């Protein structure tokens, strides 16, 4: 059967199944079996029949023993648990006891706690109050140290602390006003009073210190300590003290500037260069110019120092005192400066130098005026000196002019300008050209020029007229033209002389007319046409024909025409000697041309008269052979 194993048979066959099961079961996988076997192996020593028979009994016996052991062990456990239970119960009792005791204690401390809380709140309140009081004190009271700094001693130094303390005192004084508005008026008033007291002392001390500090500022150079700047700024609140301090500063600087000026004048540089300014006192322009330049520079420096001192003072409060103090500082040098300039001016350096000095002073008046205020005495002094030099200049010009008038020279033989005129013109030229080197504004220049010109030109014209009065017309005209021409050429080089030039030109023209007339009549009378011309002009047609008039007969005309022809051949022969003396070639030409014009016109009239049939000349064209046209060509 096993040879024909079929799955369905083997399934159905119980034996086969059992077998299969046994065969399939793996002993080493069955843990229970293994344990059982192992337990068995402990007491199953020898595999004998007896032992096999007793196996069950042994096993049961063993099991009993084990259970007994278990019962003994468990009993012990139970006893112990009983003990624990006892303990726990005891503890619970104990706890209950404690709880009840606590309850009692709580009831007893309740009052105490309440009291403590109250006290605590009270303490907090007090602490707060104390803080408020502290804050109040720190806000409205000075620290002892601050008070000490404010009061200071006589020989304690000024420090930064002083200013912060002062600032605090000031702010307290301000803040305290708030108190006055509340119901703390008494405290407010008291604090205010004490602060005012502190402030007064402090300002007093600050002022003394500033004053002493300012007094030391007399060196050439200036140390402007930040403390002094602060002091000046702080003193703003006491305008009177501020002004006094500034005055003190001004006085110190004034001394320094005067000393510096005198040093520059008399001592100069260390090693001799630059030399003392007074070394140049022989050269008025240099001398005065150096002094003024020094003053200009010193003024600029002083202004800077002052700005440094007042740099912390608000700008709008600075302007006025600054101008005043600067004026004060520069006032000291006025006298030494003035004395020296006056000395120079009085020494009569001559009009040109005086004029240049006036311009120089005027220039510096403007230059320094841009630094100083108009009211300062240094400016006033320079202006005074300017006016003085100008006055002396005008005086010296007037003096020159009146000398001209006193001693009128006769015109020289060549009818040219006199030496006095030449000299005066040279002077005028020098004066007017020195204007180029000055920086006077245009308007002032115009006024000056007008003044100078009227001071010089008018007397000159009078002088010329006087010296020409003795001369014959031609000489007079020539002389005057020469003089006027000379003045005109001089003046034409300068500005603002238009009016004068116009006047001079008109006069030149007038005298030229005279000269032209003289020249024409000289020529005409020389060729014999002058008489004829006057007759022709006076002749009236009703008096009969011209040919009948004496002196205008055919022969006379013929002779005259012959002479006129000779003149036409060489017109230069009949030029007046005076005309040759005219300095200007252009004017000579003008006289020449215009006199020829006159001659031509005269001839033309004569020609018309002769050729007029009413005048009954026979054969007029033979008598006057040349037409006016030809004459014009010949004479031009």
Partner 1 sequence: MAAGPYNYSYIFKYIIIGDMGVGKSCLLHQFTEKKFMADCPHTIGVEFGTRIIEVSGQKIKLQIWDTAGQERFRAVTRSYYRGAAGALMVYDITRRSTYNHLSSWLTDARNLTNPNTVIFLIGNKCDLEAQRDVTYEEAKQFADENGLLFLEASAKTGENVEEAFLDTARKIYQNIQDGSLDLNAAESGVQHKPSSPRGTQLSNDQPTNKEGCAC
- Least distance in Å: CB of 312 to partner 1? 8
How many Cβ atoms sit within 10 Å of the Cβ of residue 40? 12
If the CB atoms of residues 282 and 407 are measured against partner 1, the closer one turns out to be 282
Which pair of tokens denotes residue 251? 């006085």
Torsion-angle region of residue 276: left (phi > 0), alpha (psi -120 to 50) or beta? beta
End-to-end Cα, the chain, rounded Å: 185
CB-based burial label for 175 (10 Å; 0-12, 13-18, 19+):
middle
d(CA 485, CA 479): 10
If the CB atoms of residues 285 and 598 are measured against partner 1, the closer one turns out to be 285
532 in Cβ contact with 556 (< 8 Å): yes
If the CB atoms of residues 67 and 225 are measured against partner 1, the closer one turns out to be 225
Nearest Cα residue to 526 out of 618, 595, 453? 595
CB proximity list for 299: less than 8 A, separation 6 or greater = 326, 330, 368, 371, 372, 378
Which pair of tokens denotes residue 315? 């700008």
If the CB atoms of residues 325 and 415 are measured against partner 1, the closer one turns out to be 325
Q: Is residue 310 helix, strand or coil?
A: coil
If the CB atoms of residues 238 and 296 are measured against partner 1, the closer one turns out to be 296
- Least distance in Å: CB of 263 to partner 1? 5
If the CB atoms of residues 286 and 391 are measured against partner 1, the closer one turns out to be 286
- Least distance in Å: CB of 252 to partner 1? 9
Which pair of tokens denotes residue 318? 């600075």
Nearest Cα residue to 129 out of 121, 189, 179? 121
Which pair of tokens denotes residue 509? 């023209």
- Least distance in Å: CB of 409 to partner 1? 35
If the CB atoms of residues 198 and 253 are measured against partner 1, the closer one turns out to be 253
DSSP state of 413: T
DSSP state of 545: -
How many Cβ atoms sit within 10 Å of the Cβ of residue 356? 24
What residues line the site for partner 1 (CB under 8 A)? 160, 218-226, 229-230, 255-256, 258-260, 262-264, 267-271, 273-274, 277, 285-286, 289-290, 292-294, 296-297, 300-301, 304, 307-308, 311, 332, 335-336, 339, 360, 363, 367, 436-437, 439
If the CB atoms of residues 208 and 311 are measured against partner 1, the closer one turns out to be 311
- Least distance in Å: CB of 210 to partner 1? 17
CB proximity list for 563: less than 8 A, separation 6 or greater = 526, 527, 528
d(CA 580, CA 413): 12
- Least distance in Å: CB of 636 to partner 1? 48
Task: Please provide the DSSP assignment of 54-105 as one string.
Answer: HHHHHHHHHHHHHHHHHHHHHHHHHHHHHHHHHHHHHHHHHHHHHHHHHHHH
If the CB atoms of residues 258 and 480 are measured against partner 1, the closer one turns out to be 258
If the CB atoms of residues 139 and 429 are measured against partner 1, the closer one turns out to be 429
d(CA 161, CA 154): 16
If the CB atoms of residues 359 and 595 are measured against partner 1, the closer one turns out to be 359
d(CA 341, CA 290): 11
């Amino acid at each position: 059967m096993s040879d024909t194993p079929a799955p369905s048979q083997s399934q159905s066959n119980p034996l086969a199944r059992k077998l299969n099961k046994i065969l399939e079961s793996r002993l080493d996988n069955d843990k229970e079996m293994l344990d059982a076997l192992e337990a068995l192996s402990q007491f199953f020593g020898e595999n004998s029949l007896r032992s096999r028979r007793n196996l069950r009994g042994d096993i049961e016996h063993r099991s009993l023993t084990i259970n007994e052991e278990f019962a003994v062990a468990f009993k012990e456990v139970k006893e112990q648990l009983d003990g624990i239970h006892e303990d726990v119960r005891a503890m619970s009792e104990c706890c209950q006891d404690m709880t009840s005791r606590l309850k009692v204690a709580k009831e007893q401390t309740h009052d105490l706690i309440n009291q403590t809380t109250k006290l605590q709140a009270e303490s907090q309140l007090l602490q707060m109050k104390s803080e408020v009081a502290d804050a109040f004190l720190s806000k409205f009271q000075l620290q002892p140290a601050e008070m000490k700094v404010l009061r200071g001693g006589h020989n304690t130094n000024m420090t930064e602390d002083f200013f912060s303390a002062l600032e605090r005192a000031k702010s307290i004084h301000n803040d305290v006003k708030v108190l006055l508005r509340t119901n703390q008026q008494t405290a407010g008033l008291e604090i205010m009073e004490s602060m005012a007291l502190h402030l007064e002392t402090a300002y007093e001390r600050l002022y003394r210190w500033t004053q002493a500090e300012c007094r030391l500022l007399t060196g050439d150079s200036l140390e402007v300590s930040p403390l002094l700047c602060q002091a000046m700024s702080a003193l703003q609140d006491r305008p009177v003290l501020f002004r006094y301090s500034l005055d003190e500063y001004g006085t110190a600087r004034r001394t320094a500037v005067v000393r510096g000026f005198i040093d520059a004048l008399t001592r100069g540089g260390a090693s001799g260069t630059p030399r003392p300014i007074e070394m140049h006192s022989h050269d008025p322009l240099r001398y005065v110019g150096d002094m003024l330049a020094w003053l200009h520079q010193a003024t600029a420096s002083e202004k800077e120092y002052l700005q440094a001192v007042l740099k912390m003072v608000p700008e709008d409060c600075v302007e006025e005192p600054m101008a005043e103090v600067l004026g004060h500082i520069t006032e000291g040098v006025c006298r030494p400066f003035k004395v020296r300039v006056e000395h120079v001016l009085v020494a009569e350096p001559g009009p040109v130098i005086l004029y240049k000095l006036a311009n120089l002073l005027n220039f510096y008046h403007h230059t320094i005026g841009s630094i100083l205020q108009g009211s300062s005495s240094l400016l006033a002094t320079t202006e005074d000196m300017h006016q003085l030099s100008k006055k002396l200049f005008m005086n010296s010009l007037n003096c020159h002019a009146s000398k001209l008038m006193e001693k009128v020279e006769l015109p020289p033989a060549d009818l040219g300008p006199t030496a006095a005129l030449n000299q005066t013109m040279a002077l005028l030229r020098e004066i007017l050209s020195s204007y180029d080197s000055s920086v006077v504004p245009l308007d002032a220049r115009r006024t000056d020029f007008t003044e100078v010109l009227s001071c010089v030109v008018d007397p000159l014209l009078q002088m010329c007229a006087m010296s020409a009065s003795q001369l014959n017309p031609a000489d007079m005209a020539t002389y005057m033209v020469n003089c006027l021409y000379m003045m005109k050429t001089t003046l034409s080089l300068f500005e603002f002389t238009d009016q004068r030039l116009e006047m001079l030109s008109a006069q030149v023209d007038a005298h030229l007319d005279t000269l032209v007339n003289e020249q024409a009549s000289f020529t005409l009378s020389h060729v014999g046409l002058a008489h004829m011309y006057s007759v022709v002009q006076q002749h009236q047609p009703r008096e009969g024909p011209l040919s009948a008039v004496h002196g205008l007969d055919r022969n006379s005309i013929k002779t005259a025409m012959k002479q006129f022809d000779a003149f036409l051949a060489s017109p230069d022969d009949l030029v007046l000697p005076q005309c040759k003396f005219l300095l200007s070639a252009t004017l000579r030409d003008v006289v020449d041309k215009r006199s020829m014009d006159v001659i031509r016109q005269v001839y033309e009239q004569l020609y018309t008269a002769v050729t007029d049939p009413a005048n009954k000349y026979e054969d007029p064209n033979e008598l006057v052979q040349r037409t006016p046209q030809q004459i014009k060509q010949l004479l031009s």
